[in-house]
Amino acid sequence: TAYLVLDGTGFEAAGTAGVTITVDGVSASVAYAGPQGTFTGLDQANVLLPASLAGKGSVTVQLTASGIAANRVNITIQ
């Protein structure tokens, strides 16, 4: 099991149920989306990465909150 932790702003109001994540076009389960807890105004999303992505290399992550897409982020999965 591997989790990806994303930090950002503006998606706290959507809550966990209102946030979706795709990694290389594959839907990923959002375990938590809300306040980060330490820094005021910083939000955090904890994402369970599908096992099928293991060794995939460079992939694109897309977070959408309340129907609004954030900027895409590229990561490398080993």
pLDDT in 10s for each residue of the chain, 78 residues: 899 999 999 999 999 999 999 999 999 999 999 999 999 999 999 999 999 999 999 999 999 999 999 999 999 999
| CA dihedral (17, 59, 43, 41) positive or negative | negative
* pLDDT score at 72: 97
Residues 6+ apart with CB under 8 A from 41: 9
Q: Which amino acid is at 62?
A: Q
Q: Which amino acid is at 19?
A: V
Residues 6+ apart with CB under 8 A from 40: none
The pair phi, psi for residue 56, each rounded to 5°, is: -70, -25
pTM confidence score? 0.90
